[in-house]
Amino acid sequence: MLGKLKYLLRSIILPDRLFLLSKTQQEKTLYLTFDDGPVPGVIERLLDLLDKYQIKVTFFIIGSRAESNPDLLHEIHKRAHTIANHSYSHPAFHKISHTEKIIEIDKTNLIIKQITGKPCTLFRAPHGRWDKRLILTLLLKKITAVHWSRDSQDFLKEPANKIAERLLKQPVKSGDIILFHDDNTRCIDALDILIPQWLAQGYCFSALEHKY
């Protein structure tokens, strides 16, 4: 609860360009975000599901995984989703030095640039662990710190229908940035339940955009 309040306060104090918790939208829009990929055997199925509903999303990728699977990163880019930075090796950010954090970010941005040809301006810290110095450094690097306003809690490893149920019980709202993890297939099965429901409620979906 205290954590949630801290993120809310931060998003009120800091401009969206600096710290993004949710987006203000005229239209009913949801932002699906996927952390910790790309993982072979998962991403292919997820991309097909998103194509089925013609939805664009944002992938917060782990640099080392992308480095071992450059074809998968290419495929995400080819299908016009947004590729964003989620560190190189997913360390606990509160346990490593500031310099190590920056190395994690820079290394991954380089990998993304090699694939997309453009600088990456979106970053999400592993486990959403932010600190003031990190946010200030991101500002200087013109990178937006992206948190989330809804957590699917798919990390709890519950069945897909449980994940879907939770997100339907406490309805999403326009501008929500929703956190999923695509290091396993649970999110795919949950989204196959959720997306048609959200579409029926009049929501459209959008990827976060890099600001150059």
- Are 179 and 33 in contact by the 8 Å Cβ rule? The answer is yes
Nearer Cβ to Zn ion (36/176) = 36
Nearer Cβ to Zn ion (178/198) = 178
Where along the sequence are the contacts to Zn ion (CB under 5 A)? 35-36, 126
CB of 64 to Zn ion, least distance (A): 12
- Is 181 part of the annotated catalytic residue set? yes
**Nearest to residue 76, comparing CAs of 91, 93, 62?**
62
Catalytically annotated residue among 81, 86, 147, 181:
181
CB of 155 to Zn ion, least distance (A): 9
- Is 48 part of the annotated catalytic residue set? no
Nearer Cβ to Zn ion (51/131) = 131
Nearest residue to the partner Zn ion, using Cβ: 35
CB of 54 to Zn ion, least distance (A): 27
Catalytic residues: 35, 181
